[in-house]
């Protein structure tokens, strides 16, 4: 039954629908944790929500590395980062009337992700241009230092912002507050585990798509790089899409923005760790087409930061968000 292309697609649709429900619950309890623990929604998004929604990338990347599918691993991570930015643009566009804007902490987090991505560009360029195998330990060390610096400074920036009120009912007694906080944490962990299980299902679906023939495609399956950069990246970005939509819908735009920025930061940290585990040969398997996707990430991130720095109007912001989605779609044409 699971050798049928359409059955596999049906499984993916069912999983996506469930993930949207789980994403709503994650957004709900993340907001409660933020207010009850007196932590800014931005930092909750950057750390907690971003980690949970990055679980699919973590799982799929290390499975791909273990199976020596290095192109799948790198394509899934880089492709996911590009899709995450397109997701943010899409969500900001459909909720344009909620006056969601890119804050200073969000801009800094996005710029930090570009600094980490520059390390990836250096590693790729060392092999593609200079035909030299990059030092995997140097890649890991520099990436880790940048990640820690970005997280520390982002926490400082986000701590200066007030916690968004009204996410939970105000409780004056200390014991009910502690009980409500404990309940919110337990339920957040429960739905985080739930979404992790669904992530395994999505990864399994993508693995099946690598070998299952596509109807009308001369009996051939899709290629590994195509699956990694598009299908796997899309599948592992579904949690980001679901939670970002639900978070913005609940008027926690800072958390949504930092969720995307934090996911991209974590993804690049995962890529550096994976390349170290795989060994020096990892970067030799990364296709040169990956540079197209990296260029899209740089351009899209710069455009997103521009809307925050310039405090652009709704109309201009809408044009920028449409442009970001258009650039991502066009990159697929260049790659495939």
Q: Confidence class of residue 198 from pLDDT cuts 50, 70 and 90?
A: confident
Summarised one tens digit per residue, pLDDT across range 6-38 is 787 788 788 878 887 887 788 888 888 887 777
3-state DSSP: the chain helix, strand, coil percent, rounded to 5?
A: 80, 0, 20
Measure CA of the first residue to CA of the last residue in the chain; give whole Å: 29
Q: Confidence class of residue 222 from pLDDT cuts 50, 70 and 90?
A: low
pTM here? 0.81
Token pair, residue 46, equals 């950057």
Separation CA 277–CA 256 (nearest Å): 31
Token pair, residue 35, equals 């207010």
Average pLDDT over residues 40-62: 82
Separation CA 14–CA 147 (nearest Å): 35
As a whole number, the mean pLDDT across the chain is 80
CB 261 within 8 A of CB 109: yes
Q: Kindly tell me if the per-residue pLDDT of 219 is higher than 70.
A: no
Token pair, residue 211, equals 């070998």
Domain 5-335 classification at class level: mainly alpha
Burial of 31 (0-12, 13-18, 19+ CB in 10 A): buried
Q: Kindly tell me if the per-residue pLDDT of 80 is higher than 60.
A: yes
> Which pLDDT does position 161 carry in this prediction?
54
Q: Kindly tell me if the per-residue pLDDT of 51 is higher than 70.
A: yes
Summarised one tens digit per residue, pLDDT across range 254-311 is 888 888 988 999 999 999 999 899 887 788 877 777 788 899 999 999 999 988 888 7
Separation CA 324–CA 332 (nearest Å): 13
Residue-by-residue DSSP string for 192-243: HHHHHHHHHHHHHHHHHHHHSPPTTTTT-PPPHHHIIIIIIHHHHHHHHHHH
Separation CA 137–CA 259 (nearest Å): 28
Q: Kindly tell me if the per-residue pLDDT of 169 is higher than 50.
A: no
3 or 103, greater pLDDT: 103
Rg (CA), the chain: 20
Token pair, residue 150, equals 């970005």
Report the 10 Å Cβ neighbour count for 160. 11
CB 295 within 8 A of CB 84: no
173 or 146, greater pLDDT: 146
Average pLDDT over residues 115-121: 90
């Amino acid at each position: 039954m699971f050798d049928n292309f359409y059955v596999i697609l049906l499984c993916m649709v069912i999983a996506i629908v469930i993930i949207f429900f789980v994403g709503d619950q994650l957004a709900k309890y993340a907001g409660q944790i933020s207010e009850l623990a007196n932590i800014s929604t931005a930092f909750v998004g950057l750390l907690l929500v971003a980690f949970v929604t990055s679980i699919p990338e973590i799982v799929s990347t290390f499975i791909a590395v273990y199976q020596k599918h290095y192109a799948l691993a790198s394509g899934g991570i880089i492709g996911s980062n590009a899709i995450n930015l397109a997701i943010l643009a899409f969500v900001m566009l459909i909720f344009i009337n909620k006056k969601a804007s890119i804050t200073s902490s969000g801009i800094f987090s996005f710029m930090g992700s570009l600094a980490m991505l520059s390390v990836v560009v250096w590693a790729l360029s060392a092999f593609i241009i200079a035909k030299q195998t990059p030092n995997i330990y140097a890649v890991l060390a520099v990436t880790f230092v940048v990640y820690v610096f970005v997280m520390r400074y982002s926490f400082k920036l986000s701590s200066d912002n007030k916690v968004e009120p009204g996410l939970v009912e105000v409780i004056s007694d200390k014991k009910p507050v502690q009980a409500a906080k404990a309940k919110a944490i337990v339920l957040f962990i429960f739905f985080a585990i739930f979404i992790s299980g669904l992530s395994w299902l999505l990864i399994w679906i993508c693995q099946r798509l690598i070998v299952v023939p596509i109807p009308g495609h001369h009996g051939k399956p899709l290629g590994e790089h195509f699956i990694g950069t598009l299908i796997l990246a899309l599948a592992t970005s579904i949690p980001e899409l679901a939670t970002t939509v639900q978070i913005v819908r609940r008027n926690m735009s800072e958390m949504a923005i930092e969720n995307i920025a934090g996911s991209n930061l974590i993804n690049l940290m995962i890529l550096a760790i994976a390349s170290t585990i795989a060994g020096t040969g990892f970067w030799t398997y990364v296709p040169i087409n990956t540079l197209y996707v990296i260029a899209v990430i740089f351009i899209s991130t710069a455009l997103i930061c521009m809307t925050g720095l310039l405090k652009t109007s709704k109309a201009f912001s809408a044009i920028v968000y449409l442009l970001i989605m258009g650039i991502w779609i066009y990159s697929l044409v260049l790659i495939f």
